[in-house]
Structures are given as structure tokens and as C-alpha cells.
Structure 1
């Protein structure tokens, strides 16, 4: 395929408007948005106008029936991922679906089965942290060997989130059909990076908390991971930290350290110190380009369904048995 991938977008909510569309505007050499779909006509029309007058639909089947659409970007509640993915693959479309892969382990297994049933199509999860420049730089720095073996990761993500937050008002993240709540929805980001930097996780435990019931069953937790190589990660993810906010990643290696606060990355090793100021959009553009590239070369992307499940299972497994060490193969 020598032309841009022709993309249909399914779901015109806040994530599509504020995260996906700004990135797509910078990826026109790789991806062309040609149609959008939303069950509410007003939202579909508004998005279509914002995107320059592309076609719009209220029925997913109508969008999928178009033979000129190569792929779809599914930006729906995770509870709807399975149904939309099944329809799109049956219609012969490549899949980019928002994280997390599914609301629970059972539906995740069905998503994996669908990907195996349709190996001719790219099935990718939109895990933007996996493509963010800062984390890619840390990964490359560790791979260079300058800092020696990595042995610890600490990540404090302490946020103040209110029930009227624009990502919460839709309700699905705190509903019974999505039992992992905010810890699953946001937590997969942090687990994805930890796995990329430390390697496969073999044991994990989670101590969840509930401070504000309006945010769901849990609105925070301390997650501890152990890697196959013997490294440890501590991820403190809290959404009701109203008097103190912090977002800080620290990675320790035998002969160096990396720190990142969402703006500035500092790498320290025997060769000296390197500072880098964030110059990307947290990986959204890069993930779209990776999706288009995977379609062109017909090869699975880094963030395929299998990797997304490996991220997700750490949280579903530990949420099912809080404060208990869970082993992962």
C-alpha cells in the first residue's frame, strides 16, 4: 500500500476529539480520516465538520460497509470493544482499539481469539505510552548498557480527580460492567511502560483504596511488580489526592538513574547527565504511524492484542485478589 491508510473512526467522544483527532491531523501522510460514526447524530455531525466535512454515520454497519475504508479506530467505552471489533474484522478492516483491551478477562480472551481468527488484519491497541518519546528514550538508554542492569522502578501518579471530570461523566469507568474502574483504565498505561523497561512480570500484588465512592469501587492503589530478571516496580496510582499532586517516574540501574516528571527527562550514568524536554504528544502521533506501518508491512505492531492482554492481566489478576501475591506465567 503506497497511499495513506483510509480510516473510519467509531466513537466521537472526548478521547476521540481531544486525543485522537489532534494526532491524526499530523499524520496525513500515513493515515487519512474519511468517515466517522457515533450513535448520536449531533456528535457525529460535529466531529465530521471539525474534521473538514468527512462523511458521518450513526450506524457502525453503514460505515463498515464501505469498501474504501481500510481500517477503523475504535474509540468507545471498553465495554463495547468486543462487539465493535467483531463487526469490523468480519467486514475486513484492520483494527486500532482504545485501551484497555476489554473490561474483564473473559472478554479479553474473546478479543485474542478474534485476532487469531483474522491473522490477515492488524489488531492493535492504542496504548500511547508504549510510543511516547520519553519512555522510548529510557528504554534505548537501558538497552545501551551504559547504566548497567535495571533493578528498580518507582512511579508516583497522585492526581485530584472530581466526579464531574469530562472523562468520568459518561459513567462506564465506574459502572458494574467495568469492574476494574480507574485502576484498570489508567493502570494499563503504567504497567505497559514498566513491562517495556523491566521485562516480563512474574509476580504482582495490589493494595487498592476507596476514598471517594463517586469515582468507583476503587480510586487508588499501590501496585508492586517483580520482573523475571529480578527487578521490582512500585506504582502508586491515586486519583483522590486533593492536597498533594505528583507525577514522577524514577528508574534505577546499577550505574545510573532516570527521572521523568512528564516534562523533563534526566538520564544520569558514568558518561554524564543528559536532559531532554518533552517534544511529543505522549505518543499519540507515533502510535498512529506505527499502526499504518504495521498495515503496510503486514506485521504485528508492538502494541498488539497479546501485549495489551499482558498489560491488562496484571491488573485484573491483582484486583481479583487484593493484597495477595499473584504469579504470572
Structure 2
């Protein structure tokens, strides 16, 4: 006899802005067997109306505020998508109300609040508390991590990555939100967007032992540093450089390739949201490229991991500790820039190396996940 179906998690949405519309809802609507939205709220009545319209959710499920949503018995868990300065207080209230929590990143506006996030998680051991980090779940990055774990390029000894984009306020986009233009969190865009890059670096290269950073401001549309140049020393012995700039002026086309150099080969991660590529070059001058199309950039995997933690007690990859570990790289980079010195990074309790996520019940990386993967080989020998 088949096992009885597990009812979907009754999910409340706190905040229904751009992150839900562009990132979370496209994944949620394909997971009706795991989630049922039973309530939602937003400080903006227009945002509430818009969410109900594009999602097809009954407008009667809207609540006046988060206190009303958290008081509902038909909400098991909440997805928190509010501005960064309010994440901690909303997560605190949700956990106090007995809800499981999936919260947008980062875990803390500064180092002090990052420590408060860790204490909050430790104070609610009976609740699932995940901080979103889609890069931990992205198919191309997990594939690259599996290659590295398998010794595909030998011992990693050098990482190089430059990310330079134009970033000016655009209506209807993330850069158009006033709280991002005048950030009330240390690190500005490097804590908001750049923390994803740090997550990717940690997933692929391991934990970071020491940072040496420099920052400057070259974008008048944001009230925070736009440029970050960072030298990294990893606990495994590799070294690396990461440069990120969010400019006001138009930028010539940039490759944004991340390159990982090993003793037996090189791994290059490139492409865009529509098509991502992982290319492994071997010592014999052959290349093996896998192209990923139609993947959702990790949001489906993130939601599956949260559901598995709530329903089956699986330990989630995107823990609060892992999010704090990402954020603290940015905080120490800014400390380093202010002190003009290389600084050590203290290990974050409960974090450690980022685990490689696989769909529950499967040893393979892509079982049950959307997308197309195409592999090819070539040679760059003269």
C-alpha cells in the first residue's frame, strides 16, 4: 500500500514585492504538492493587490499586517521578503509565534546583528529557520562543486573573478527601490547583491581564512561604496581575487567569468540567467563544456530544501550559520578597508564548509529538477 500523501505546508507570505514576484513565486507555483499559500501581507495595499492578481491567489487571504498573519492557525511557515533592515525583527516575531521561517538574505545589517541572528536560531531549536541563498542550489554551481570534489582539476590553488555592471535606479527593478539607493545596512550593494557572490565563492573554494579589502564610491545614485576589491586566502591553501563594481556609467560588455585554477586543469563558470556554462580544461588541452538552459537559478531547490527540513527533518544547506558566514566576509572586507590591513576571519559556529545539496532521496544532482543540460568536448591545443 502506498504511503499516505503528506499535506502541503501552509505558507504565509510576509512581503509580496519584487523578490516574491520575480524570484520566489515562479518556483512556488510549480510546487503545489509541497506548498499552499494560505495568507499574505504587505505594507503596500497596491503590492497586495498586485500579488493576488498575478498569482491567482484569493484576495480574501490578504491580512492587514504581519501580526494578523502570524496569529493565524492555518499558517505553518512563513516566507519573509521585506527590506533588509526589517528582516531580523520579522523573523524574530515569526519564530516567537511558532512558525517555521524561510527568510530573505542577508542575516544581519552588520556584524552585531549577524550575531543576533545566530542567537535567534539557537533559541528556537525546534523550528526550521533557513535564510535564502539560491546560489547554494543553482544547478551549474552544484555541478562545478561536484567536479571539484571529484578532483577534476586537481588541487585548487587560485580563484579569479571580476563582476562589473551598470547599476542605476530603474522603475520596476531592484535598483529602483529607495531603501537600496540609501541602504541602512553596512556594505550596501555588496551586502545585498554581493553576498550571493561570496556564497558562490565559499561553495566552490571552501571557507575563507583571511581577507584584504579596499572600497570606494564611484556611483552617485547609491549612498554607499560601489567598488570592492578583495584578496582572499582560503583555509584549504588556495588564494583568490574578487572585484565587484556597480557603476553609474554604461559599461562595455564584461565576461564575468569565474575562473578556478587547479594543478591538473582549469574550471570556468560563465554565461547568463538564460544559459550558464561550466567548462573544464584538462592538462592535455581538451575542454569539456556543460551548458545549462531553463534552470531556475536555485529557487526551486531552496524551497524543496526548506520543505524537506520542515516535513522530514532534513538539515537544510541554507542555514542561518551559513548565511552569517557569507555576510561576515563582506563585513570583514569593510573592516579591512577601514583599517588598511589584512584581517583574519573567525569561524562561524555551526557553519563550516557548505554542503553539496542534492534532491532528497537521490544521489544524483538533477533528479526531479527542471532544465536542460548539454555537454560537448573540444581542444585548444595549437
Could you tell me the TM-score, scaled by structure 1's length? 0.95
Q: How does 1:62-141 map to 2 (within 5 A)?
A: 62-141=68-147
Counterpart of 1:292 (choices 291, 307, 315) is: 307
Q: Partner of 2:16 in structure 1?
A: 12
Relative contact order, higher structure (CA 8 A, sep 6+): 1
Shift of 1:50: 2.0
Aligned residue for 2:221, secondary structure, equals helix
Aligned residue for 1:213, secondary structure, equals coil
Aligned residue for 2:174, secondary structure, equals coil
**2:182 touches 2:222 (CA, 8 Å); kept in 1?**
no
Task: From the CA coordinates, give the structure whose radius of gyration is larger.
Answer: 2
Q: Partner of 1:325 in structure 2?
A: 342
Q: Partner of 1:248 in structure 2?
A: 257
**2:219 touches 2:246 (CA, 8 Å); kept in 1?**
no
Distance of 1:321 and 1:277 partners within structure 2:
38
Q: Partner of 1:51 in structure 2?
A: 55
Q: Partner of 1:28 in structure 2?
A: 32
- The answer to whether residue 214 in structure 2 is matched with residue 207 in structure 1 is yes
**1:115 touches 1:305 (CA, 8 Å); kept in 2?**
yes
Aligned residue for 1:137, secondary structure, equals helix
Counterpart of 2:282 (choices 254, 266, 269) is: 269
Q: Deviations over 1:281-319 (max 9, x none)?
A: 111111111111111222431110001101100111221
Which 10-residue stretch deviates more, 207-216 or 95-104? Answer: 207-216
Q: Partner of 2:380 in structure 1?
A: none
Cα RMSD (Å) of the superposition? 1.7
Q: Partner of 2:236 in structure 1?
A: 229
Could you tell me the TM-score, scaled by structure 2's length? 0.82
Distance of 1:214 and 1:301 partners within structure 2:
37
Q: How does 1:104-183 map to 2 (within 5 A)?
A: 104-164=110-170, 166-175=173-182, 177-183=184-190
Distance of 1:133 and 1:324 partners within structure 2:
36
Shift of 1:67: 1.5
Aligned residue for 2:50, secondary structure, equals helix
Q: In 2 relative to 1, CA 2–177 (structure 1 residues): closer, same or farther, beyond 3 Å?
A: same
Q: Deviations over 1:158-208 (max 9, x none)?
A: 101113362133222243521210011112111111111121111012211
Q: Partner of 2:45 in structure 1?
A: 41
Distance of 2:49 and 2:261 partners within structure 1:
49
Shift of 1:243: 2.8
**1:23 touches 1:285 (CA, 8 Å); kept in 2?**
yes
Distance of 2:315 and 2:121 partners within structure 1:
11
> Structure 2 regions of 5+ residues with no counterpart?
347-382
Aligned residue for 1:57, secondary structure, equals coil
